[in-house]
Amino acid sequence: MKRINSIIAGSLFAILIIGGGPLAARLHAQDDLGVSFSIPFAFSLDGQNVAAGSYKLNLVSSQFMMSIRNLKTGDLQYFSVHPQEERAIEAHGRLVFNGCGGHRYLAEFHIPGTNTYSMTMTPGRVKNAEAKACPTTDSVFLAAR
Protein backbone atom coordinates (compact mmCIF):
# COMPACT_ATOMS: atom_id res chain seq x y z
CA MET A 1 0.00 0.00 0.00
CA LYS A 2 2.89 2.34 0.80
CA ARG A 3 4.32 1.69 -2.67
CA ILE A 4 1.01 2.70 -4.36
CA ASN A 5 0.79 5.88 -2.28
CA SER A 6 4.40 6.69 -3.16
CA ILE A 7 3.73 6.18 -6.89
CA ILE A 8 0.57 8.34 -6.74
CA ALA A 9 2.36 11.08 -4.80
CA GLY A 10 5.29 11.02 -7.24
CA SER A 11 2.95 11.20 -10.23
CA LEU A 12 1.03 14.14 -8.76
CA PHE A 13 4.29 15.92 -8.00
CA ALA A 14 5.49 15.41 -11.59
CA ILE A 15 2.18 16.71 -12.95
CA LEU A 16 2.46 19.82 -10.78
CA ILE A 17 6.03 20.48 -11.90
CA ILE A 18 5.36 19.88 -15.60
CA GLY A 19 1.94 21.58 -15.64
CA GLY A 20 2.87 24.33 -13.20
CA GLY A 21 5.77 25.63 -15.29
CA PRO A 22 3.60 27.07 -18.07
CA LEU A 23 1.12 28.37 -15.51
CA ALA A 24 3.86 30.22 -13.63
CA ALA A 25 5.16 31.63 -16.91
CA ARG A 26 1.68 32.83 -17.84
CA LEU A 27 1.16 34.46 -14.45
CA HIS A 28 4.52 36.21 -14.66
CA ALA A 29 3.83 37.39 -18.22
CA GLN A 30 0.52 38.90 -17.10
CA ASP A 31 2.37 41.22 -14.70
CA ASP A 32 3.17 43.49 -17.66
CA LEU A 33 -0.42 43.60 -18.87
CA GLY A 34 -2.77 46.33 -17.80
CA VAL A 35 -3.45 49.95 -18.43
CA SER A 36 -1.43 52.73 -16.77
CA PHE A 37 -3.03 55.88 -15.38
CA SER A 38 -1.71 58.94 -13.56
CA ILE A 39 -4.40 59.90 -11.07
CA PRO A 40 -3.84 63.42 -9.68
CA PHE A 41 -6.24 63.11 -6.73
CA ALA A 42 -6.99 60.70 -3.90
CA PHE A 43 -10.02 58.48 -4.39
CA SER A 44 -11.81 55.54 -2.85
CA LEU A 45 -12.72 52.15 -4.18
CA ASP A 46 -14.81 49.53 -2.43
CA GLY A 47 -14.67 51.58 0.77
CA GLN A 48 -10.85 51.80 0.74
CA ASN A 49 -8.94 55.07 0.34
CA VAL A 50 -6.32 55.20 -2.40
CA ALA A 51 -3.72 57.97 -2.64
CA ALA A 52 -3.05 60.02 -5.77
CA GLY A 53 -0.33 58.51 -7.96
CA SER A 54 0.49 56.34 -10.95
CA TYR A 55 -1.33 53.03 -11.16
CA LYS A 56 -1.67 50.05 -13.47
CA LEU A 57 -5.15 48.53 -13.64
CA ASN A 58 -5.84 45.07 -14.98
CA LEU A 59 -8.59 42.47 -15.00
CA VAL A 60 -7.36 39.37 -13.18
CA SER A 61 -8.35 35.83 -14.15
CA SER A 62 -11.91 36.86 -14.96
CA GLN A 63 -13.96 39.92 -15.73
CA PHE A 64 -15.11 39.99 -12.11
CA MET A 65 -11.79 40.86 -10.42
CA MET A 66 -9.61 43.93 -11.00
CA SER A 67 -6.11 44.58 -9.72
CA ILE A 68 -4.61 47.99 -9.06
CA ARG A 69 -0.82 48.23 -8.72
CA ASN A 70 0.81 51.39 -7.39
CA LEU A 71 3.70 51.90 -9.84
CA LYS A 72 5.81 53.75 -7.26
CA THR A 73 5.46 51.41 -4.28
CA GLY A 74 4.51 48.17 -6.04
CA ASP A 75 1.54 47.70 -3.69
CA LEU A 76 -1.14 45.53 -5.27
CA GLN A 77 -4.83 45.51 -4.35
CA TYR A 78 -7.72 43.46 -5.71
CA PHE A 79 -11.33 44.59 -6.07
CA SER A 80 -14.56 42.99 -7.26
CA VAL A 81 -16.08 44.49 -10.39
CA HIS A 82 -19.08 43.81 -12.59
CA PRO A 83 -18.58 43.62 -16.40
CA GLN A 84 -20.75 45.85 -18.59
CA GLU A 85 -21.00 46.36 -22.35
CA GLU A 86 -21.09 49.54 -24.34
CA ARG A 87 -21.69 50.16 -28.03
CA ALA A 88 -18.36 51.73 -28.95
CA ILE A 89 -14.99 50.02 -28.77
CA GLU A 90 -12.67 51.90 -26.42
CA ALA A 91 -9.49 53.00 -28.23
CA HIS A 92 -7.62 53.88 -25.02
CA GLY A 93 -8.24 52.94 -21.44
CA ARG A 94 -10.42 55.30 -19.45
CA LEU A 95 -11.40 55.71 -15.82
CA VAL A 96 -14.61 57.32 -14.62
CA PHE A 97 -14.72 58.79 -11.12
CA ASN A 98 -17.90 59.99 -9.46
CA GLY A 99 -18.02 62.16 -6.43
CA CYS A 100 -19.10 65.23 -4.58
CA GLY A 101 -16.94 68.11 -3.44
CA GLY A 102 -13.40 66.88 -2.83
CA HIS A 103 -14.25 63.20 -2.51
CA ARG A 104 -14.05 60.89 -5.56
CA TYR A 105 -14.64 57.20 -5.99
CA LEU A 106 -13.68 55.03 -8.94
CA ALA A 107 -16.88 53.99 -10.72
CA GLU A 108 -15.73 52.51 -14.07
CA PHE A 109 -12.63 51.06 -15.75
CA HIS A 110 -12.96 51.07 -19.58
CA ILE A 111 -10.74 48.48 -21.21
CA PRO A 112 -8.94 49.47 -24.43
CA GLY A 113 -9.66 47.49 -27.60
CA THR A 114 -12.99 46.14 -26.34
CA ASN A 115 -16.58 47.22 -25.94
CA THR A 116 -16.59 46.16 -22.29
CA TYR A 117 -15.91 48.04 -19.11
CA SER A 118 -15.81 47.14 -15.46
CA MET A 119 -18.18 48.80 -13.03
CA THR A 120 -16.90 48.87 -9.46
CA MET A 121 -19.03 47.56 -6.64
CA THR A 122 -19.45 50.33 -4.11
CA PRO A 123 -20.82 49.03 -0.79
CA GLY A 124 -24.44 50.02 -0.09
CA ARG A 125 -23.54 51.84 3.13
CA VAL A 126 -21.10 54.05 1.19
CA LYS A 127 -23.68 54.79 -1.52
CA ASN A 128 -26.28 55.69 1.10
CA ALA A 129 -23.89 57.99 2.99
CA GLU A 130 -22.85 59.74 -0.23
CA ALA A 131 -26.48 60.16 -1.34
CA LYS A 132 -27.32 61.84 1.96
CA ALA A 133 -24.23 64.06 1.96
CA CYS A 134 -24.48 65.12 -1.67
CA PRO A 135 -27.74 65.12 -3.63
CA THR A 136 -25.94 65.62 -6.99
CA THR A 137 -22.68 64.05 -8.08
CA ASP A 138 -20.19 65.05 -10.72
CA SER A 139 -17.95 62.86 -12.86
CA VAL A 140 -14.27 63.07 -13.82
CA PHE A 141 -12.88 61.14 -16.78
CA LEU A 142 -9.19 60.17 -17.06
CA ALA A 143 -7.57 58.67 -20.16
CA ALA A 144 -4.75 56.13 -19.99
CA ARG A 145 -1.27 57.48 -20.43
Domain identity same for 12 and 83: no
Total count of domains within the chain: 2
Domain identity same for 50 and 81: yes
Domain identity same for 104 and 128: yes
Q: Are the C-beta atoms of 54 and 41 separated by less than 8 Å?
A: no
pLDDT at 93 over 50: yes
Domain identity same for 68 and 132: yes
The structure's pTM equals: 0.68
Identify the domain containing residue 19 by its residue range: 1-30
Domain identity same for 52 and 8: no
Domain identity same for 45 and 21: no
Domain identity same for 23 and 48: no
Q: How does residue 13 score in pLDDT terms, banded at 50, 70 and 90? A: very low
For residues 37 and 133, which has the higher predicted lDDT (pLDDT)? 37
Mean pLDDT over the full length of the chain: 76
Domain identity same for 46 and 9: no
Domain identity same for 10 and 73: no
Which range in 5-9, 52-56, 102-106 is most confidently predicted, on average pLDDT? 52-56
Domain identity same for 109 and 44: yes
Domain identity same for 62 and 77: yes
pLDDT at 84 over 70: yes
Hey, is 55 helix, strand or coil? Answer: strand
Domain identity same for 12 and 45: no
